[in-house]
A and B are shown apart, each in its own frame.
Chain A
């Protein structure tokens, strides 16, 4: 079955960096656009970034542009999110998700990133 498993979350100080990974299985990873979406504690969903199947097309939310970098390794069926210059407001559960038409499905279980001194 289609599965997405995120890893790499944790506690980091403001200004620090973290790299999230998402391991995909159960589908042809290289055929699909992929996305990162986050949810701050007790808050709603916020789209972060997406990347095309080849990696040639990338978009970011204004809130992370210039600080976050999305990438993928189709040979390893993996999606990444490099997060630099982290701020308290970046604290959230980060979900990896596959694009289906203009929706995203399925979603991984999420990985928690906490930015605090």
Chain B
């Protein structure tokens, strides 16, 4: 199972909006509404930010939103803040009943 494809880095200024893409295939991202997004700060465990494409767990800021079109899912961070600087990973359920993660995106707040 190949990793889902994410851009290596995305940057934005405070207050701006940025979008991270996550591209898979019809056997994973495109085939199921089971895409999740995780935030990981250096030296810390990942934290779930979005599940089932667009649902936010309790406690996650509404500045984070998710969507999907075809084989590509997206995470949008609006009103970018300094604390949003981190690595972000997508994941998807697959047709083999396994999970696959994305390659990861480093978000930099300029």
Contacts and interface: CB of A to CB of B under 8 A. Distances in A.
A27 interface: no
Given A44-B89, A62-B1, A107 B52 contact: no
Interface string B33-64: 01110101000011110111001010000000
Interface string B77-110: 0000000000001010100111111111000000
A112 to B, nearest CB: 12
Contacts of B36: 102-104
Contacts of B51: 100-103, 105
Interface stretch (A10-18, A45-53, A81-89): A45-53
B10 interface: no
Interface residues of A, number: 23
Interface in A35-62: 35, 37, 44-47, 50, 59-62
A103 B98 contact: no
B18 interface: no
Q: Among the interface residues A62, A103, A106, which one has the most CB atoms of the partner chain B within 10 A?
A: A103
A44 B45 contact: no
Interface size of B as a range = 20 to 34
A70 to B, nearest CB: 13
Contacts of B99: 35, 47, 50
Contact of B93 (A44, A95, A102): A102
A44 B34 contact: no
B100 A47 contact: yes
Given A103-B52, A104-B36, A107-B47, A44 B102 contact: yes
Interface of B: 1, 3, 32, 34-36, 38, 40, 45-48, 50-52, 55, 57, 89, 91, 93, 96-104
